[in-house]
Structure 1
Amino acid sequence: MSSPYIAAAEFAQTYGLVYFFVIFLGVLVYALWPSNGKRFDDAARVPLRED
């Protein structure tokens, strides 16, 4: 017999890993997308601006 806690823990371990891996890949694709390069370069230079 499987307790609800064990079932929930197995579900979280399996699908939680898949969920976070998909989120990680999404963030990675967003960060490395070529059209976002200028935006990130501009943001990197904000501390160096003298306004």
Structure 2
Amino acid sequence: MELDYQSMRTFADSWGLVYMVAIFVAVVIWTMRPGSKKSSEDAARIPFKED
């Protein structure tokens, strides 16, 4: 099977977009999960921590 530009473009326009949307939704759900507030607050304070 020869892969040319048009077939790769068709794949990226359809399934590639679905894949990227699924990854985006998974990341948003992961950051908004119920137990993530403490870890998010800890990460936000990293620049202000004194060594």
Once the two structures are aligned, what percentage of the paired residues are identical?
39
Query: Alpha-carbon deviation of 1:5?
Result: 2.9
Residue 49 of structure 1 aligns with which residue?
49
Q: Which has the higher contact order (CA 8 A, sep 6+)?
A: 1
Displacement of 1:42: 0.6
**Normalized against structure 1, the TM-score is what?**
0.79
Match for 1:28: what amino acid?
V
> Unaligned 5+ residue runs, structure 1?
none
Number of residue equivalences: 49
Give the counterpart letter for 2:32 in structure 1: L
Kindly state the Cα deviation for residue 4 of structure 1 after the two structures are TM-superposed. 3.9
Please give the secondary structure, in 2, of the residue aligned with 1:19.
helix
Q: Distance in 2 between matches of 1:14 and 1:33?
A: 29
When the two structures are superposed, what TM-score results if normalisation uses the length of structure 2? 0.79
The answer for the alignment partner of 1:7 in structure 2 is: 7
5+ residue gaps, structure 2, are none
